[in-house]
Amino acid sequence: MEGRLEMAEIASPALEGNPLGDPDRRTVLLYLPPGFRESGPPLPAVYFLHGFTGSVHSWTSFQPFAPTVPERLDALVASGAIPPAVGVFVDGWTSLGGSQWLNSPAIGRYRDYVARDVVAFVDRRLGTLPRPEARAVVGKSSGGYGALVMGRHHPDVFGYVASHAGDAGFEYCYLMDFPKAAAALLGTDPAAWLDGMRRRARETKLRGDDHPTLNTLAMAAAYSPREGAPLGLDLPFEPGTARLRPEVWARWLEHDPARFVPAGLDAFRLLRGIYVDCGTRDEFHLRWGARMVVESLRGAGIEVFHEEFEDGHRDVNYRYDRSLSFLVPQLAQS
């Protein structure tokens, strides 16, 4: 790399006392472009949100023959394809595997953690340009969902948003997991099942059918929290029959970008750039949710850069080359 990576620790007031007991001190990975000096001219910043079951360390995980996302960012800057920018790789790991980057009484205030605590830390430590037109937020899968969440709630913080295969169109991406989760939870409750899954992970490894159950529980904690329930959440289906619970499922749908984007168009009008993509063979059918989001934005006269590409959901970090090439040249440089 021609730039450099640094690890820093953030104390997050937003995560203090979170109900899962997860750390409120978090590591952040910082990419500093070639020649960066804290006393030099202030630079724009790109904030990266990882996907479900990821952490800050996921960004530097080795993949044979393929560059990491920080290495991709560095190559773009070093080649002159994009102007210099700071990269901020945020840690959103939770005891349930993720938070969807939302504020939830069952998980914690992860939206505030990113938009308030992390941004304030980076501006203070690195002297980055403290304006929305100089900040972008990007991510894939649950990270792409989180980027849309930030655009919906914090256009005063982030002026640019990129969502790679972000969770959207909940009927298509989540409903298929419910029968699998219902089968795994028969005769137990979410808290007991989670304890067993963690024990398997420690002693041997996760089972192939663990992911849809964990995903369902984590999403329920994000979308349908309920104080006093096991794990503090309401399941979207009846435990014994897997019959949908309409009143709970309706709470999930309120968090669907296919719904909250058209309901929050005033916020998206304030953004200066929006990028949305998804693979045509996405295994979670997120192509259709992306199309719904784009249709809502364009129908309201909001410009959005939308692409589909021939691939699935996994191992598509090369798509960050596209979103960064679109967003970073538009960021304010002074």
pLDDT tens by residue, 209-242: 899 999 999 999 999 999 999 899 999 999 999 9
* Last residue within a domain, chosen from 207, 222, 253: 253
Residues 264, 231 within the same domain: no
Residues 42, 155 within the same domain: yes
* Last residue within a domain, chosen from 229, 253, 277: 253
Residues 114, 241 within the same domain: no
Residues 194, 81 within the same domain: no
Residues 325, 217 within the same domain: no
Judged on CB neighbours under 10 Å (0-12, 13-18, 19+), 65 is exposed
Q: Which of 255, 259, 235 is nearest to 245 (CA)?
A: 235
**Which residues does 283 contact at the CB level (< 8 Å), separation at least 6?**
312, 313, 314
Report how far residue 95's alpha carbon sits from residue 263's, in angstroms, rounded to the nearest whole number: 31
* Last residue within a domain, chosen from 253, 284, 313: 253
Q: Are 265 and 296 in contact (CB under 8 A)?
A: yes
Low-confidence ranges of the chain (pLDDT < 50): none
Residues 52, 122 within the same domain: yes
Residues 59, 163 within the same domain: yes
pLDDT in tens, 71-107: 999 999 999 999 999 999 999 999 999 999 999 999 9
For the question of whether the overall pTM of this predicted structure is more than 0.85, the answer is yes
The helix (H) or strand (E) run that includes residue 162 is strand 160-164
Residues 246, 279 within the same domain: no
Q: How many domains does the chain have?
A: 2
Residues 233, 321 within the same domain: no
Domain extent for 37: 4-169+257-330
